[in-house]
Structure 1
Amino acid sequence: MKHITFYLDFISPYAYLAFEELPQALMGLSYSVTYKPLLFAALLKHHGQLGPAEIPAKRDWTYRQVLWRAHSQGLPLDLPAVHPFNPLGLLRLAVATQAQGLPNRYVCENLMRHVWVGGADAADAERLQALTKQLAPSRDPSDVSVKAQLKAHADEAIAKNVFGVPSFEVDGKVFWGHDALPMLRRYLEGDAWFADTAWERVQTHPAGIPLHRT
């Protein structure tokens, strides 16, 4: 049985779509999942990137695309009252629900829908307080151990060459994005393409301009 590490940030609509679609996309396969919340902004900073919601034209397209994808999949998706927003309160709450900082699917589902269903302010203090009461974390989300685990998740992801969310890591291979789910499925099914050299070969493909290396 293959094990998937699912790196996510609740601020990402693509992470929400992938989270909701994952069970159906991998239906019939034997696998397990660990959910690892991390601060998407930490990945962006490390790789010297702007987030899609920080570029006005890309922001508009991102919202149009995720609304369309949700519509086409029959999923509820409402843009939160303000986006982007500071997701640290939600991320720390998720991490605080489990001793190793690994929230279960129920916790992630509630946090995802807190942001992406209903159109309310995802960072509103009263809403966050109510959600905290509902999820009843075993630790205080503001505890230093929680903050350290959240940072460790990002550090681990960066070490594995994760650069965005959602990302799925299996056997050292990283599959990025909601639209990578079909590719992930084919890998779990044992598609012979992945046993060839194509996966590794791209890393040494010549570049015509200097690449930014982190």
Structure 2
Amino acid sequence: MKSITFYFDVISPYAALAFERLPEALEGLNVVVDYRPILFAGLLKAWGQKGPAEMEPKRQWTFRQVAWSAHRLGIELQTPAEHPFNPLALQRLAWACGPNRRVVEKLFHHVWHGGLDANHPGRLERLQQELAPACDPADDEVKQTLRQATEDAIARGVFGVPTLEVDGRLFWGLDSLDMAAAYLRGDSWFRGDAWDEAGRPRAGVVRRER
């Protein structure tokens, strides 16, 4: 049985869509999924990137493309009332509960169903009561677990969410699910040098800040 690590942050609509589509993409495969909450903001800081919602033209395109993808896939998805928002409380809650598929589904639906405020205190309180975490999400141990998971992901080369890791190979984005599934099904492309060759460094111009 293969193990897959699903790195996610509930702030990402692409992670929400990938979560919903994952069972279909992996249908017929003997796999177990380890759901790993991390902080997208931590990835952005580590790799020197801006989030798509921080650039207005990219924000507009991102949510149009996300809405189209949800429509095409037949997945319910409504953008929360405020976005971007701080997902820290929700990611900590995931670790406090133990991030299995039921817990992660509740978190994604909390954010991406209904178009409501993901951080509304009353909604957060009700969600925590429903999930009944084993410990307080504000405990230092939970906070450290989330920090360490994010640092470990960065060390493994994770730069965005969602990312799937299989056998040390990283598959980033909603549109990589089919690629990951092809690898798991033994597609011959992955048995040769194509993977390494496609990713090897090339000579090129380096952009310098002025």
- Tell me the TM-score normalised to structure 1 length: 0.95
Instruction: Tell me by how many angstroms 1:210 deviates.
Output: 2.8
Cα distance between partner residues in 1 of 2:158 and 2:15: 14
Who is 1:157 aligned against? 153
Cα distance between partner residues in 1 of 2:168 and 2:54: 30
> Alignment partner of 1:168: what SS?
strand
**What one-letter code is carried by the residue in structure 2 that aligns with 1:165?**
V
Tell whether 2:45 aligns with 1:49: no
Who is 1:31 aligned against? 31
Who is 1:199 aligned against? 195
Who is 1:130 aligned against? 126
Query: Within 5 A, what are the aligned runs for 1:58-207?
Result: 58-98=58-98, 103-207=99-203
Cα distance between partner residues in 2 of 1:50 and 1:17: 21
Cα distance between partner residues in 2 of 1:4 and 1:209: 36
Cα distance between partner residues in 2 of 1:173 and 1:42: 21
**What one-letter code is carried by the residue in structure 2 that aligns with 1:29?**
L
C-alpha distance after superposition, 1:11-69 (max 9, x if no partner): 00000000000001111111110000001000000000001111100000110011111
> Alignment partner of 2:118: what SS?
coil
> Alignment partner of 1:145: what SS?
helix
Instruction: Tell me by how many angstroms 1:211 deviates.
Output: 7.6
Cα distance between partner residues in 1 of 2:20 and 2:198: 31
Q: What is the percent sequence identity of the aligned residues?
A: 55
Cα distance between partner residues in 1 of 2:11 and 2:188: 35
**What one-letter code is carried by the residue in structure 2 that aligns with 1:116?**
W
Cα distance between partner residues in 2 of 1:105 and 1:207: 43
**What one-letter code is carried by the residue in structure 2 that aligns with 1:174?**
L
Larger displacement relative to structure 2 (68-77 or 199-208):
199-208
Instruction: Tell me by how many angstroms 1:192 deviates.
Output: 1.1
C-alpha distance after superposition, 1:96-147 (max 9, x if no partner): 013xxxx100000000000001000001111001000000000100000000
Size of the alignment, in residue pairs? 208
Instruction: Tell me by how many angstroms 1:73 deviates.
Output: 1.0
> Alignment partner of 1:5: what SS?
strand
Cα distance between partner residues in 2 of 1:174 and 1:136: 32
Cα distance between partner residues in 2 of 1:154 and 1:144: 15
Unaligned runs of 5+ in 2: none
Cα distance between partner residues in 1 of 2:4 and 2:48: 27
Cα distance between partner residues in 2 of 1:18 and 1:73: 10
> Alignment partner of 1:169: what SS?
strand
- Tell me the TM-score normalised to structure 2 length: 0.96
Cα distance between partner residues in 1 of 2:198 and 2:6: 23
**What one-letter code is carried by the residue in structure 1 that aligns with 2:130?**
Q
Instruction: Tell me by how many angstroms 1:206 deviates.
Output: 1.4
Cα distance between partner residues in 1 of 2:13 and 2:207: 29
